[in-house]
Amino acid sequence: MTTTMTSTKSATKTTMTKTITLNENKQRRRQISRTTKKSNNNRQQRRRRIYSTSSVAMNSNKNDANSTIDDDEDGSVMISKREILLKSSIGGFISSSLFFNAREVQADVDEDDERTPINTRTDEREQKMSIMPDMMRDKRTVLITGSNSGIGFAAAKKFAKTNEFKVILACRTLDKAKKAKNEIIKAIEDEEGGFVKDKSLLVEAECDLGDLTSIKTFAESLGDEPIDLLCLNAGVQFAGSKEVNRTKDGFEQSMGVDHLGHFLLTNLLLPNVESAAKSSTKKPRIVITASEVHDPESPGGKVGRGAGLGNFEGIKDAGVDFDLMDGSEFDADKAYKDSKLANILFANELNRRLRLADSQINVVSFGPGLITRGSNFFQHTNPLFVKVFDFAANDLFHVAETVDGGGNCLLFMALSPDLENKSGIYYNNDLGGETGHTFHETLSSKESRNLDEARELWTWSEALVNQEFGVYRAL
């Protein structure tokens, strides 16, 4: 089989075109029909989208875990997951083509490796991340989602304080981004010796990760601008809520914002990130803010129901109207944990695809620790619960991290020269060390390292955002 892949950029934004030459003897057929799952609650029915037929490349002598293919001697094509979503919406019978498989590339992490812990509460790490001038561009560009609060704001301030970066403040609304810019400038200038040399290097931008149209508009607005550091940091959670909160496109909001919004944004901006390697001495990097709660065996992950995406029965049964991806009874806390699991599965699959494409982009993810103060993270949670929980975490048991410490974690993942030639790795901010917290490389959960599940999440995510992305060839 010969596969030729080309990537082009139109005036409207990035699209990836895939030219596929398939061995006729390798083609297979599978036809799937689904009927609409009838809702048992009083939730208002939303109009479900009808997805068009599309295809992605595969060459395999065995069934791919994402498609569960049945052999058919007539050499016909298979059906995509988009059509499964179509069946869940309107019923019927359609056939389409879905081909993708590639060799497995695992994150280069050894359980027995000795790793050096990093102190998140000192300036030592910031000193290690000295900024070396680039050869072809005066300033590198960092884009941070959720940069108006919490560790996103803290990290954006640290980047701006160096006066060595163009910082794109990607926030849910433009007003939030403008306010963040003003607060960052004031905070820096209020510090002794602090100043912002060029305020225009702090760029306000609107990117609502709960709205696919907003994401596409934002990505289009960036044009061909190189992005050296893409920090996928924004996140929402609704712990304690009995109601399923939804994005503008109908997705459960934790999964819709934390994973699906970032999934689409990243794929639309990959050419921008890849192109940064051409004009910098450093490799571009994608940094994903996850959480230790993705792991049911972690201290935070053990509380309540654990993360797990199952066999994606929720999507198969309800399409875009899924409550939880595994199809189980809704639990807002589990929805957030699932979104963090999806973050790491996405990081691993993106890394696998980029390595196959000989890309210069590195992909890393991390858990910043439990942060209860100085952040809007618990804004949707019962105020009384938050007050009690905050007191216990900070003043009673001393297990919480500070916003500044979390910002240092993000900064380290984005700038540390120790990670220049590493990709597909995970760091976690655990308890321990002289200051009470130790930031170190470790293995993420067992499920998050399931490469078959990571591939399947990718294709389901493509179907949900109604856009397919192939294996990328380095520009």
What positions carry a catalytic annotation? 336
Report the distance separating Cα 29 and Cα 96, nearest Å.
9
- Ordered alpha helix ranges (H), 323-402: 332-356, 383-391
The set of residues, in sequence order, having a beta carbon less than 8 Å from that of 392 and lying 6+ positions away, is none
Cross-strand pairs, 276: none
Place of tokens 């924004």: 234
What would the two tokens of residue 267 be?
């794929």
Question: b or e along 42-59 (b: 16 or more beta carbons within 10 Å of the residue's beta carbon)?
Answer: eeeeeebbebeebbbbbb
Burial class, 310, CB count within 10 angstroms (exposed 0-12 / middle 13-18 / buried 19+): middle
- Alpha-carbon dihedral 449, 450, 453, 458, rounded to 10 degrees: 40
CB neighbourhood size of 394 (10 A): 17
Q: Select from 22, 106, 10, 115 the least CA-distant residue to 427.
A: 115
Terminal CA-to-CA distance of the chain, rounded, Å?
A: 23
Cross-strand pairs, 19: 4
The set of residues, in sequence order, having a beta carbon less than 8 Å from that of 232 and lying 6+ positions away, is 145, 262, 265, 266, 286, 287, 288, 289, 343
**Secondary structure tally for the chain: helices H, strands E:** 12, 12
Report the distance separating Cα 321 and Cα 243, nearest Å.
13
| Residue positions counted in the chain | 475
